[in-house]
Chain A
């Protein structure tokens, strides 16, 4: 089955620093990857859609300069949380899809804690 690997699974950083999260599709080429944020006991909130080789499309209310997304290859997308603040602490999950009609497969998530 389709496997999506996300790294790191947990990260603790100091306020003001930047954190990079990687998302890889291991056994398929992902033309589109998605980044979600999930608050405790809530559903997944789409942050942005990234297409290989082009700029990411951000959802309303998501700061593109704060959450930098790079999708440089068909198997790798990265999310960089720049100048992190405690309110950025959350569970970030990536997902990937091969063909347009294929279901999404998710990474295992990254628990970010900003102190």
Chain B
């Protein structure tokens, strides 16, 4: 099946620093999604990307759908303590027979005040 490699697995940064994480795939997707999960809660959708090359921002978050459709990155600028959590990328392939959604392994972000 499809594999999503998400990196880094974890990051420990100082408050105010910028963060970058990415996902790469062995095959193409037609949608890339980025979620954040806080401890003990379900993932919350941050950004959805629908077109190759698309660059989308949501506040301090910016994500891009790679031109090859096999990768995506998420940047967080000027990190704050509440950015702490696990960030998951997900690739979605919409087919006539149905949808396939594949998750990356997650990036655990820790922010030092």
> What's the nearest-Cβ distance from chain B to residue A58, in Å?
14
Which B residues are in CB contact (< 8 Å) with A43?
88, 103-106
Chain A 61-115 residues near chain B, CB threshold 8 A: 91, 93, 95, 97, 100-101, 103-109, 111
Q: CA A111 – CA B40 in complex, angstroms?
A: 8
Closest to A57 in B: B98
A103, B33: Cβ atoms closer than 8 Å = yes
- From B42, B88, B105, give the contact of A107 (CB < 8 A): B42
Q: CA A7 – CA B57 in complex, angstroms?
A: 32
Q: CA A109 – CA B31 in complex, angstroms?
A: 24
A109, B33: Cβ atoms closer than 8 Å = no
- From A41, A93, A105, A108, give the contact of B45 (CB < 8 A): A105
Q: CA A103 – CA B89 in complex, angstroms?
A: 12
